[in-house]
Amino acid sequence: MRWLKLGQQYVGMWQNGVQHGRGTHVWILKGADESHYSQSNKYTGDFAQGQWHGRGAFYYASGAIYEGEWRNNKRHGKGKFTFKDGHVFDGEFVDNQTMTLNLNGNRDPTSLCGTFSLSDSDSSILGPDMALNIGCLLDKLPERERDAERKQVEFVVLMQVAELRSVYSFYSRLGHAHSPDNVFMLTRLQLWRLLKDCYIHHHDITLTQIDRLIREDATTAEIHSPFTPMLFQRLLSCLVVVAYHIYHKDIVWEKNLLATCFSKLMTDNILPNAKNVKGFLFRQPDCAVVAMNYIKKCWEVYQAYCRVNAST
């Protein structure tokens, strides 16, 4: 079965019109110039009533691999996760997260984001091009827990990096005419659209507040500018910061707090809603291209009329 518009293909066994038995499902991701398909996620293994269920392997476009047991589309049971740099986590997974052991040797259900070892405890498994800038969050945690918290959230980010790259590519093209030669950088305006598409503003937080939370060295006048460019690395950091601020009060355990919040953001907000563009500006691509020709002039008008009058 091939889904041409979605860039997917399945080869394997069927039952009553759904995937059932052994098979291979491939998700093709477009290359940076969109002129060819260069990356793919691939699952090969057991299916049950259309879901990954049994034993199978998932090959991530990033180069990482998970081999082991699955239940209802989630890593569940014994498995091995191999990072693209060769580091390995070999252990037990529960509902897509790793399960740790407590001091008595029993499974600890409050540590679902797991732990893993690196040959260099100070290195980032994400690499320098994706290293997270989350010092503002780590400073909120006890010093002895910061290194472990950073590694755990990096682990969760790495497992989602292919999907996040696809989201970044999709939103960075909003408002631009189709071109196979150009690679666009995400702007804050496009980030706002992503956040609203994923209903982040339904969690008692406004886009203005988010701008202030994710600010770096920008001045007050610049932090709300729609033109601010954002590298993929910064998007990752922004999402981790946003995840903490909207979900940390709901987490009943203290270990792996950042990773748990980010995992919840991805599961509840990003994956189900990203790329389903809402609002008026970007929903009609051709109209958006025309409208974006006037965005700088509109910004000047907006700034002129939103200035605070000290005499009133």
CA distances for 125 relative to 240, 269, 296, angstroms: 16, 25, 39
* CA–CA gap between residue 68 and residue 79 (Å, rounded): 4
pLDDT for the residue 212? 85
Stretches in the chain below the pLDDT threshold 70: 5-6, 29-39, 85, 97-129, 179-183, 216-223, 253-254, 307-312
pTM, full prediction: 0.60
The answer to whether 175 and 288 are in contact (CB under 8 A) is: yes
* CA–CA gap between residue 70 and residue 305 (Å, rounded): 56
pLDDT tens readout for residues 95-154: 776 654 333 444 443 333 333 333 333 446 666 667 788 888 888 888 888 888 888 888
pLDDT for the residue 276? 92
Report which of 56, 114, 65, 115 is spatially closest to residue 86, judged by C-alpha positions. Answer: 65
pLDDT for the residue 196? 93
pLDDT for the residue 244? 92
pLDDT for the residue 55? 95
* CA–CA gap between residue 158 and residue 111 (Å, rounded): 18
CATH code for the domain defined by 1-117 = 2.20.110
Instruction: Provide CATH 2.20.110 ranges for the chain.
Output: 1-117
